[in-house]
A and B are shown apart, each in its own frame.
Chain A
Amino acid sequence: MKSRALLLAALLAFAGHALAATGAIEPLPFKDHAQEVRFQNLTRQLRCMVCQNEDLADSNADLARDLRLEVFQLMQQGKTDAQIKQYLVDRYSDFVLYDPPLQPGTWLLWFGPLAILLAGGLVVVVTVRRRRVVAGTNERNMANTERAGTDPADAGDDW
């Protein structure tokens, strides 16, 4: 079974989905529905080490199966999501986490978008203010640019 999975992985370099497309469906004896939902959410945030383009919830790899069972058992022992994640990180490194922890190395990842947003926001503010200054003081310029708008095709609705 496993060697076949490996062979398939090699064959399916094009679309690894196929491997998982056999479905990782296994009923586990959850305490209640809430726990099942928690399990599904948690395993979706974890990366499979074997089929690295799949999350733990969907991977059909043998190890993924073992790890799901491990996660399930840790849940039964009353471990929190954070503790379960730490358990896996201790063994497999941060690579298993689909949301890398915030640390100096990942500041760029977590704050980069914010920095881009702020920088872009600054540009927008400057642009808007500059255009307004023109509106207030430079009537000649305004009359100049107005010409383009007198085109009949532009006329009609102002929307």
Chain B
Amino acid sequence: MTPELGQLALVLAFLLAIAQGVLPLVGAWRGNRALMAVARPAAAGQAVFVAMAFGILVYAFLHFDFSVQYVADNSNLALPWYYRIAAVWGAHEGSLLLWILILNLWTVALAALSHRLPEAFAARVIGVMGLIAIGFLAFILFTSDPFVRLLPMPADGGDLNPVLQDPGMTFHPPVLYMGYVGFSVAFAFSIAALLGGEVEQAWVRWARPWTNAAWGFLTLGIVAGSWWAYAELGWGGWWFWDPVENASFMPWLVGAALIHAQAITEKRGGLRAWTLLLSIFAFSLSLLGTFLVRSGVLTSVHAFASDPRRGVFILIFLTIVVGGSLLLYALRAPKVAGGKPFNVVSRETALLIGNLLLATASAMVLLGTLFPLIGDALHLGRISVGPPYFGLLFPLLMAPVVALLPFGPFLHWGKAEGGVLKQVALRAGVAAAACAIVAAFFVQGQLRAIVGVASAVWIATGVLLYALKRWREVPSGRRYPAEMAGMLLAHLGVGVFVIGVLLSESLSVTHDVRLAPGQTESVAGYDFRFDGVHRTVGPNWHADQGVVTMLRDGATVTTMRPQKRTYSHEQIQTESAVDAGVFRDLYVALGEPMDANNIEGAWALRLYYKPFIRWIWGGGLLMMLGGFVCAGDRRFRIKRIAAEAAMPVATVSARESAA
């Protein structure tokens, strides 16, 4: 299992990617079936070689092969095996390999599940996936080889960034990449449609489950990252509007818009050009995120070590892929607006407004993220754009979305009746107002908290009313098709998220205190008793561990153990202690000892009381679930079988002529 084999596997994968990217496209263009047939075996072969390279890197980490530079940089003898596996994607080169592996997984899944697509179309889709793979494999081979040798071999390695030595963080990157890369499928579908010339309504139906699944993964990845930041960093924050977070949020917003645009195009035939464009945008923004994180163009919290050469490479790649796609779009997008007509009051209009707001929000995030760079370019001086900017504009843009949400399912395609809508508005409005008034007594008059309760109830009532309507009016078994159930879950998730954000933001109590052992501090009705700090050791760290007993009305609720760990190379990492609850989190982070030489004395501690914070991730998980449930709708699969009915004729006649 020498690393050189890994390199060789990558070279072979690269060659297969070229075959996969070029031959099927030529075949589809020329009508050459032999060339089109290259697509699937090439994709499978490429996946095998990439998996091999990945396996070899994992093996090198598991066997402490410090003769590999990347292994030596990111692991050491004391690192537990599970973090040695996580270390594979702990830095630039390996995470890029993971990116490629996941791209291959999606391609293989696509190749396996696309047998019912028209032959030329499937060949084009897989071909486009191959073109993307060419770019990334070239990137890893020419600028970021994870198998570079380090001679002489050091006795021990460096360390995996302690920040990443956490269960939540180990699976955050793979899931996030599943989302990023998943958008490549919708992208490939739309490029194939553009290349094919005729943009049929059917391609959107095929693309929909893929888009929903990718969006579900991206949601989970973002939730995991946010949860990790909250649990690990000791700031009690869950979102920082950092450039890298924004890089994952932009494709998420566009993906949400795309899911809805695809629904219009699939069911009504309209907005084809817009759906195509959004498909291109969603994946382009994923690529852009990769560029921003790895090129060092922006100052960011979790940016990879920057290297201008890599930046130039990705920029060229980005220009070819995105520029090429947009050029194709400009030349070949359907010129005539097709689809069924619709009224001003209709689901189409509502979805269009939602799309507009989501797309604008994404553009706003892009503008805010890049503005410091624009400032440099236009000599406006060094400028910072951060939470106050995004935190002001984003809610403004999303408020109309929240206002529209309850009506969504009630709006008919084409033409909606005003009566039903008024009824929904009345009921949801009354419910929201009633809950807001009740809430006002509990939240010390905090306006944001009241607004949070009202908006969440507004959304949830809409969702429940529609669920109820279906329950009453539709025979069982057909009440909640997966696509609709997914939609309801995701919308409910938005409500849960909103209440989580606004309640936790407005009602949280943060208190920095200096406590000697035995002293007690009271926060939001809970007494935190500091019982001192002692030393403790883990597999590859030692730590000062505080013991904080939490009491309510004199009775012990729980004991919390916040840590301050020291890893090898003197890297320090805090582990906050969180007592989780549905309605509140209690959270303790350990600061510094008042006297550095006496850890048994007084310490600085940060105590948090965070009501409803868990609802933020709960809402995110509901949205994710909605995406997955929707992707699993049988309708998308039945359609494929229906499409198949036309296919056997061609296959049979081909077989006959061969015989």
A-side residues, CB < 8 A to B, are 4, 8, 11-18, 20-28, 33, 36-37, 40, 44-45, 47, 52-55, 57-58, 93-100, 105-106, 108-109, 112-113, 116-117, 120-121, 123-124, 127-128, 130-132, 134-135, 138, 141-142, 145-146, 148-149, 153-154, 156-159
Contacts and interface: CB of A to CB of B under 8 A. Distances in A.
Contacts of A28: 512
A117 B389 CA distance: 17
B384 A47 contact: yes
B63 interface: no
B167 interface: no
A135 B414 CA distance: 9
Contacts of B268: 149
Given A53-B242, A100-B383, A116-B363, 18 more contacts: A17-B233, A17-B301, A18-B161, A25-B234, A25-B605, A26-B591, A33-B509, A47-B386, A53-B300, A95-B383, A99-B385, A108-B374, A112-B367, A116-B364, A124-B349, A128-B348, A132-B343, A141-B341
A109 B509 CA distance: 32
B384 A40 contact: no
A109 B242 contact: no
B11 interface: no
Interface stretch (B207-215, B283-291, B569-577, B650-658): B569-577
A116 B360 contact: yes
B484 A159 contact: yes
Contacts of B353: 124
A23 B371 contact: no
A50 B474 CA distance: 62
B204 to A, nearest CB: 12
Given A27-B604, A113-B363, A98 B397 contact: no
B377 to A, nearest CB: 12
A21 B340 contact: no
Nearest to A105: B380
Interface on chain A toward B: helix, strand, loop, or mixed SS? helix
A8 B571 contact: yes
Interface of B: 91-92, 161-164, 201, 229, 232-235, 237, 242, 267-270, 299-306, 337-344, 348-349, 352-353, 356-357, 359-360, 363-364, 367-368, 371, 374-375, 378, 380-389, 392-393, 397, 409, 412-413, 474, 478, 481, 484, 509-514, 564, 569-574, 589-592, 604-606, 635, 638-639, 642
Contacts of A120: 356, 359-360
Contacts of A138: 341
B342 A135 contact: yes
Given A94-B381, A142-B341, A14 B91 contact: yes
A35 to B, nearest CB: 12
A128 B349 contact: yes
B501 to A, nearest CB: 16
22 contacts: A14-B303, A14-B304, A17-B233, A23-B574, A25-B592, A25-B606, A27-B512, A40-B510, A58-B237, A100-B371, A105-B383, A113-B364, A117-B357, A128-B349, A131-B270, A145-B340, A153-B635, A153-B642, A157-B474, A157-B481, A158-B412, A159-B409
Given A132-B344, A157-B474, A145 B302 contact: no
Given A52-B299, A135-B341, A148 B269 contact: yes
B522 to A, nearest CB: 11
A28 B635 CA distance: 61
Contacts of B512: 25-28, 36
A11 B397 contact: no
A28 B564 CA distance: 21
Nearest to B243: A53
B234 A27 contact: no
A121 B371 CA distance: 23
B626 to A, nearest CB: 15
A55 B386 CA distance: 9
The CB with the most chain B CB atoms within 10 A, among A21, A53, A138, is that of: A21
A96 B384 contact: yes
A122 to B, nearest CB: 10
Contacts of B606: 23, 25
A17 B474 CA distance: 53
B447 to A, nearest CB: 15
Contacts of B572: 18, 21-22
Q: Which of A24, A33, A146 has the most CB of B within 10 A?
A: A24
Interface centre among B234, B270, B306 (most CB of A within 10 A): B234
B367 A27 contact: no
A94 B371 CA distance: 14
Contact of B302 (A17, A98, A112): A17
Contacts of B392: 99
Nearest to A96: B384
B360 A113 contact: yes
Contacts of A22: 564, 572-574
A13 B306 contact: yes
A25 B513 CA distance: 8
Contact of B348 (A130, A131, A141): A131
B573 A108 contact: no
Nearest to A36: B511
Given A13-B303, A26-B512, A135-B343, A106 B380 contact: yes
Contacts of A54: 301
Contacts of A130: 337
B457 to A, nearest CB: 23
A98 B389 contact: yes
A15 B383 contact: no
B79 to A, nearest CB: 16
Given A13-B306, A25-B606, A146-B340, A18 B573 contact: yes
B590 A23 contact: yes
Given A17-B233, A124-B352, A99 B343 contact: no
A151 B574 CA distance: 59
A106 B383 CA distance: 9
Contact of B338 (A13, A58, A145): A145
